[in-house]
Amino acid sequence: MSATVAVLGPGAVGGALAVPLALGGARVVCVARPETAQAIRREGLTLDRPGEVLHARPESTDVLLDRVDLLLVTVKAPALDDALDRVAARPETVLPLLNGLEHVETIRRRLGGGVVAGSIARLEAYRDGPTHVVQTTPAPFVTVTSPVELLRDAGFDVRVEPDERTVLWEKVVRLAPLAAATAITQRSLGELRSD
């Protein structure tokens, strides 16, 4: 039996992860606002990335009622509390892939102890509609504190670190200069790289 992965927030990052996971054989459930869940149910998800266009038909819902093996939390931090309200069943493992640090304790408090620290790098993507994600970089690099073979099986480059603090501080060290550059210039990272 294949593993079940839920993606809470199938936007740019979530969509870029959901499509390869679904095509890699995992049962993928996208947890989204009702209108987005309905659009995914109707059209599936399309990921346009360098050299290929991938299409998958993951399941979708506006409330996660069934226990899953892995919950990927890929919403933006301001939407986290509302998004967590959409998770009614406690997942076995939760991998938050948000910017910042403070969300780990919020998620752990709301969903229980199965939260592993995670970080995603080398991923630039944007949503070009509710069911279409454009990824402008190669496969992302994911760092976790617990081995998540599902991500490797879907073609992601995964590094396992034994210590949560290491994962989170490496994330801060990587993001701080990028955040400063994008904030001061009021431009996206993609725009800065194209200069």
Q: What is the pLDDT of residues 127-170, one digit of tens each?
A: 999 999 999 988 777 777 676 787 888 888 887 777 777 777 77
Separation CA 92–CA 107 (nearest Å): 13
Instruction: Tell me the mean pLDDT in the region 172-176.
Output: 70
Reply yes or no on whether the pLDDT at 188 is more than 60.
yes
Asked if 29 and 2 touch (Cβ cutoff 8 Å), the reply is no
1 confidence band (pLDDT: 50, 70, 90): low
Instruction: Tell me the mean pLDDT in the region 114-124.
Output: 77
**Residue 68 pLDDT:** 95
Task: State which H helix or E strand residue 7 sits in.
Answer: strand 4-8
Total domains, the chain: 1
| Of residues 63, 113, 104, the one with CA closest to residue 80 | 104
175 confidence band (pLDDT: 50, 70, 90): low
Q: Which residues neighbour 47 within 8 Å (Cβ) at sequence distance 6 or greater?
A: 15, 16, 19, 20, 53, 54, 55, 56, 133, 135
**Residue 191 pLDDT:** 74
**Residue 180 pLDDT:** 79
Give the pLDDT confidence of 40-68 residue by residue, as tens digits.
999 999 999 999 999 999 999 999 999 99
Give the structural domain span for 63.
4-194
How does the average pLDDT of the chain come out, rounded?
Answer: 87
Asked if 154 and 23 touch (Cβ cutoff 8 Å), the reply is yes
What CATH number does residue 62 fall under? 3.40.50.720
